Chains A and B, each alone.
Chain A
Amino acid sequence: MLKLAIVKITSCSGCINEILSALLEDDIRANYTLVYFTELVDSIEFREADLAFVEGSVTTRHQEEALKDLRKRVGFIVATGTCALMGGVQSLRAMGDFKPESRGLPLKQESSEIYREPKPLDQVVKVDYALPGCPINADAVKTFLRKYYLGGLPIAIYETVCSECKRRGLPCVLVTKGIPCLGPITLSGCGAICPSFGRGCYGCYGLQFHGLNGGKVLSFAERLRELGLPDLDYRALISAYSYAKYRDLLGGSH
C-alpha cells in the first residue's frame, strides 16, 4: 500500500474530482491508502506520504511555507492541473489592478503576504511529475497511479492539441473555418474536446512552451489577429491559463 496525500491550495477542486474518479477503480484503491484529503478524510494533519497530488497555484506566503514543509515529508510530488504548472486562470489578476483589500477579502495576513502573481509549484518546491489540464483528465490520473505503483511513470508527452485533433481525423477549425484556435500552442492531453465540437481550443491545458519564444507566440498571435481577433484579446486569450509561461516568453503585461 502506498500512502497518498491530496493537497489543495488556490484552485477550484476540479482536478480533485478527476482524482476521485480515478480512485473509484478497484485495482487503484487496492494499492493506495489516503492519508490526507480534507474533502474526504477526517484528518487535518499527516506525518508523511509516498505520493502527493498538489492542486492549485501558490498565492500566499503561508501556502509557500506549507509547501516547503510538505516537500520534506512526501516522496513524490505531482503538480496537478494548469494552476500548479503555470498559474492557472487566477493569474489573470496579475494583468489587472490588484487590490486584495478592496475586494473584501478577509485579511488575516498582511496584504503583502498575498502574491499579485500566483506562482506555479516549481517556483517554490521541486516537482517530480506534472499533469496539465483544467481540469486534468481522470484517464491520465489512472494511468499515472497504475504505472507509479508498478514502479514506472508515464512518458511525459509534450505535444500540442493539434496532434490529438489530427490523430482523431478532425478537420482543423482554424484552417477550414478560420476560427481562432489555441490548439497549435497548447499542451495535449484533453483529446481535442473543443475542436471535436467545432469550436476553437482556448488553451486550458496551458502553453506548449518547449521550443516557443516571444517571437513565435507573437507570430501565432498575428495569425489569430488575421482571423479577426482584435489586438487586445489575444494576450488575455493566450495567457488566461498559463500566465506564468506567457510572462516568461513575453514579459509581464501590466
Chain B
Amino acid sequence: MKKLMLEFKKLLGDPVFLGYKRGSTIPVFDEIRSISELPLEISDVQKPGKYEIVEGFRFRHSHSSPKWYLLPPEQVILTISPSYDAIDSGVSEGRRAVLFGVKPCDLKAIAVLDKILLDKHPVYTAKRRGIVGVVVEECMEPGGTCFCASVNSGPIVESGFDVAYARLDKETLLLKPGSDIGRQVLKSMGLERASSEYTELYKQMVGRAIDSMKRKLPDLERAQRALRGLASSQEFWEEISKKCIGCGNCNYVCPTCFCTEFIDRVGENHAERVATWIGCLTYTYGLVAGGHFRKQLYMRYRHYTLHKFLYYPLQTGGLLGCVGCGRCITWCPIGLDLIENLSRVLKVKNVEA
C-alpha cells in the first residue's frame, strides 16, 4: 500500500491524497498524510440505525464520503463589501489530488455528481478537475446495509479508475490497472502477475460478496414502473413514510445528494453568500417566496425516493441517484430501510415483469 502511494506521488508530482482517514472516533473522508492514517486495521459493523467500529480489515465507509471534499457542506460562493462590490468569487483552483482507497459506490457517486455538476457548479468543477488519480478498494465483504450489486455500482469496478485493489486477506492485495497511469504505477512497483490461484480466489470472493448482500432489489425496471404507478397515491406514501421524522440524515450522508440553500451571512465588514447543504426531507427545502411546495412530510419522502430512482436517470442520462452504499439505512436514527420500502412498492403495485 505504501509503495502504491509512493509511486503515485512520484508519477503525479506530489499530489495530496484524499481518502478515509482514521480519527479519534470513526474514519472520515479527509486528507491522508501518512499510510498509518488509513483505516486498514478496522472493520465497520453496520445495521439499520447502528454503526460500530471493531477490529478487522474490512472498512467500507462511514457517514462521510468524497462528497465532503468535492461538494463541501458549506461553500462560500461570493464575498462582497458593504458597498456591494465583489471581493471574492469563492472559487479557487482545486488541489491536485489522488482519491485513495475510495469504494466502488463512491466512484459511482462521483460519476453521478459529474453528470449533474461538472462544468456547471464552479466549486465542484474546480475540485473535481484537480483529481488526477483514483485508487479504488473493491469490496470483498460488503457491509451490513450495502446493496450495491442491485444498483450496478459494485462490489468491484470496471472503469473510471487508475488502480483498483482487492484485499483477498489481511496481507494479500490483488491489484488491477484501469488506465495508462495505473499500468505505469503497477509496472514501476515491480509486481508479479497474479497466478490463476489468486485470480480464481478473487472471482469466488466477488461472487460470495454479491450473494452476501441480503438487501436486493429484485428487478430495477419493475420497481421503477411500480414507482411511476404509485406516484400520486397519497395513501401509499403516507403509510410508507409513517415513521419518518424528516430529520434529513439520509440526505446529508447520501453520496449523491447535492442540494444546497443559499444563505447570506452579513458581517461587520463584508457579507458572504454560502451554499449550504440542505436536505429535501427537511421543511426548509420546499419553502419558497410565496409559499411551500411540499408541506407534508410524505410528499418530501416521496420526492426523495422518486428523485433517486426516477428523476436522476433523466438528469444523468440513465444513472440512478442511488449507488447502494446503504448509508441512508445505517445513519437513519429510526433505522428506516429504503430497500424494504422499495420491496413494498413492488408488493403493493403488482406490475408485470
> A residues near B, CB below 8 A?
25-27, 143, 146-147, 150, 154-160, 162-163, 166-169, 171-172, 174-176, 178, 181, 183-185, 208, 210-212, 215-217, 219-220, 223
**A162 to B28, alpha carbons, bound, how many Å?**
17
Stretch at the interface among B35-43, B151-159, B282-290, B343-351: B282-290
Chain A residues lying within 8 Å of B268, measured Cβ to Cβ, are 25-27
Residue of A25, A157, A185 near B247 (CB, 8 A) is: A185
Least CB distance from A26 to B in Å reads 7
With known contacts A171-B62, A175-B49, A211-B297, A158–B243 Cβ distance under 8 A: no
Chain A residues lying within 8 Å of B81, measured Cβ to Cβ, are none
Q: Residue among A172, A175, A208 with the most chain B CB within 10 A?
A: A175
**A59 to B246, alpha carbons, bound, how many Å?**
32
With known contacts A163-B279, A211-B297, A183–B247 Cβ distance under 8 A: yes
**A32 to B287, alpha carbons, bound, how many Å?**
30
B25 and A167: CB pair below 8 A?
no
Least CB distance from A214 to B in Å reads 12
With known contacts A169-B68, A172-B249, A175-B49, A223–B283 Cβ distance under 8 A: no
A175 and B50: CB pair below 8 A?
yes
Chain A residues lying within 8 Å of B333, measured Cβ to Cβ, are 162, 172, 174-175, 181, 183-184, 220, 223
Q: Mask for B314-332, Cβ within 8 A of A = 1, else 0?
A: 0000000000000000110
Chain B residues lying within 8 Å of A159, measured Cβ to Cβ, are 248, 278-279, 282-284
**A25 to B266, alpha carbons, bound, how many Å?**
12
A216 and B244: CB pair below 8 A?
yes
Number of interface residues of B (CB under 8 A): 46
Which A-B residue pairs are the 7 nearest by beta carbons?
Answer: A211-B297, A166-B252, A210-B283, A167-B73, A184-B247, A158-B283, A146-B266
User: Whose C-beta in chain A lies nearest to the C-beta of B262?
Assistant: A155
A166 and B245: CB pair below 8 A?
no
With known contacts A169-B68, A171-B26, A163–B300 Cβ distance under 8 A: no
Least CB distance from A20 to B in Å reads 17
B26 and A176: CB pair below 8 A?
yes
Least CB distance from A6 to B in Å reads 21
B220 at interface, CB cutoff 8 A: no
Chain A residues lying within 8 Å of B249, measured Cβ to Cβ, are 162, 166, 172, 184
**A220 to B245, alpha carbons, bound, how many Å?**
8
B51 and A216: CB pair below 8 A?
no
B189 at interface, CB cutoff 8 A: no
A-B contact pairs, 14 of them (CB 8 A): A143-B266, A147-B266, A150-B266, A155-B261, A155-B263, A157-B263, A163-B277, A169-B68, A183-B247, A184-B247, A210-B246, A212-B245, A212-B297, A220-B334
Residue of A146, A158, A223 near B284 (CB, 8 A) is: A158
A223 and B248: CB pair below 8 A?
no
Q: Residue among B62, B63, B266, B296 with the most chain A CB within 10 A?
A: B266
Chain B residues lying within 8 Å of A157, measured Cβ to Cβ, are 261, 263, 284
B266 and A171: CB pair below 8 A?
no
B245 and A176: CB pair below 8 A?
no
User: Whose C-beta in chain A lies nearest to the C-beta of B296?
Assistant: A211
A211 and B74: CB pair below 8 A?
no
